Amino acid sequence: VITGLNIATILIVFIAGVGQIDAANYNPFTPFGVRGIFAGASIVFFSFIGFDTVSTAAEETKNPSFDLPVGIVGSLGICTILYVLMCLVITGMVPFSKIDTNAPFSAAFDAAGMSWVSRIVSLGAVAGITTSIMVSLLGQTRIYLVLAREGLLPPVFAQVHETRGTPVFATAVTAVTAGLLSFLFDIEILAELVSIGTLFVFACVCAAVLWRRYRVEERPALPLGWRLAAVVLLSVVIGEISRFDEPFWILAPLLLVLAGISYSLSLLPLAEHGPQKFKVPFVPYIPVMGIFSAIYLIGSLGILAYVRFVVWSGLSIVLYLLYGVHYSNIDAESEMVPIVDKRGMALSSRPLDDDLQNLD
């Protein structure tokens, strides 16, 4: 119901705003240049983190190998289109220099004499925040649940309610920590921290796809390893150079080298791992572009974002060294997942859904 209300609000805003668009407001179309586009994208990237929540709900789907790709790609595509349409409306209604950063759509419709639309926007904003909180709670609690099952967190995080089947303690911890963070820190700081963390994870996932696809146990890992390292290094260098508005001819050779490394990856022998129902198409080019774009966007963030990320990552490593490394029960040769009772104590084990092994 709430999601339907969100979509209805977006459509109303779009239909009402289209008639108020002034084409002159689109000139200049990129007032801050390419660097401004990527700087903005690196900050608002957190708008896309909800889509990975679909993957955390894998155990709650009937056919993961089909449901997960459709859910992630489908929701990502629909929401991206809606984001673009909303941006076109607001930048067409108001010159970019006069957009109210606190309440852009409400202020724009008030200035246009359409206060009734601004009230709808306020209602939709409340509904949108509600769904975002619910989705974030869902994804994070499932992550805590899996980490506790593997012994990387205390067993209490794996407690599952007897009747509702939901991780009670993990949900409570997520709600409290999210509330404290939003109360203590400015939204810009949280946005940068969430964005850099998500971008880092996405880059790691892209690298993992390449590793799974081309890592052959019987062969040395060096040929694949140095190629992945070169992709990461080139992405960092290109991102840093582009920050200084250097001419394209300086970046062109580096981009050609990156393309050459991507092609050399395709010449490596494939591993025996071959997902049957869904696999990333156009490998290695899409994963390489994923690594490059994620690292490039990370380079658009400020130095304070890097410091906060290093500190946060350092705290996570300390937690792992103090607890996880001693209590981890991950068995690389087993695909068994423990079933726990409400106290987080293991009752039995069951094999992972075979369909999950068909995803890449």
Residue type, 341: D
Task: Tell me the pTM.
Answer: 0.75
CB 248 within 8 Å of CB 256: no
Cα three-residue angle 50-51-52, rounded to 5 degrees:
95
* pLDDT score at 339: 44
- Strand (E) or helix (H) holding 347: strand 346-351
Closest among 153, 170, 144, 191 to 44, alpha carbons compared: 191
Within 8 A by CB and 6+ apart from 296, the residues are: 38, 235, 238, 239, 242
* pLDDT score at 336: 44
**pLDDT profile of the chain (360 residues), mean per 10:** 83 91 91 79 71 76 83 86 90 91 88 88 84 81 89 91 87 91 85 84 92 86 93 90 74 91 92 69 92 87 87 92 87 45 43 49
Cβ atoms within 10 A of the Cβ of 335, count?
A: 14
Rounded CA separation 260/244 (Å): 25
Within 8 A by CB and 6+ apart from 207, the residues are: 228, 232, 287, 291
pLDDT tens sequence across 117-166: 888 888 888 888 888 778 878 888 888 998 998 899 999 999 888 888 88
* pLDDT score at 274: 59
Rounded CA separation 154/148 (Å): 6
